[in-house]
Structure 1
């Protein structure tokens, strides 16, 4: 990889990492001033988990995926991780991301969770098994609504980086992705 490609890759990662941290800080300050409910100061660590589903594309070009989200929360702060596995539209995909999260109760029946961290996305073409991957900053947001003993969630997860793989030229190719989430959990 030549020098300009390496510098571009580093700048892309640094600016994306900064943007994901800025999003978290804005979330904290924005909800503080908006009269948000502070989560209870419970001294225990609360685990959480969700099953996620999603679809990219429409018609015959559909790529569906299934995923899991898990983590722990202690008061306002916590850790979260997600894994997605997808297939369809001529390729298979896998996403894995983890990092710290911030939790805010916007309303007694609505909680918002924002996380940032490191993510890895890999896709592989079905017909010739060529693959490429992206590793870099990731960020996500979930709106969680309690519905009896379960929680229904709606959110999004995104990632940035530079493609690496068998069919990647010497120049760095910026890569990014966004997945909308629908899920149920506890």
Structure 2
């Protein structure tokens, strides 16, 4: 089956101290199956996707129905799922020096906090942003990532920042992801 977990993610843009929410998402992943839903205020829209049995479904908000997303091949599906996988933003392109930054709690769990600077390998992030700072909270007992925060500067304006916060829970709990009923 593979690793399973649920998560929440928020992406915020900050320009000259003014904050604007870009995305608020929730999702679940169980092995190769995944489900994600949430709001994308920066485009005044929402998103709802399900991956089940190597097929991708998207909720058409205008018609309130599920549609199969045509994919050229399985590689296209894998590429898309990496882009919406919250753990992919914690993948680094280079050998990264990680420093211990103290202790904290996430959802009542004691965690060790680590910090790192890296370029990252997520295409969505590296296209516009640079100078990434990562803060990650790792459960002291289980060793799982419980929370992560990334801050980055815009390539053209250092007063323009991106802040992405991800909280992860329900590791290896039974999660059922069903294909949607198509209308």
TM over 0.5: no
Please tell me the TM-score bracket, short chain as reference: 0.3 to 0.5
Which structure has more strand as a fraction of its residues?
Answer: 1
Q: Considering Cα pairs closer than 8 Å and 6+ residues apart, tell me whether 1 or 2 has the greater RCO.
A: 2
Q: Under a length normalisation based on structure 1, what TM-score does the superposition of the two structures give?
A: 0.35
Question: TM (normalized to structure 2)?
Answer: 0.35
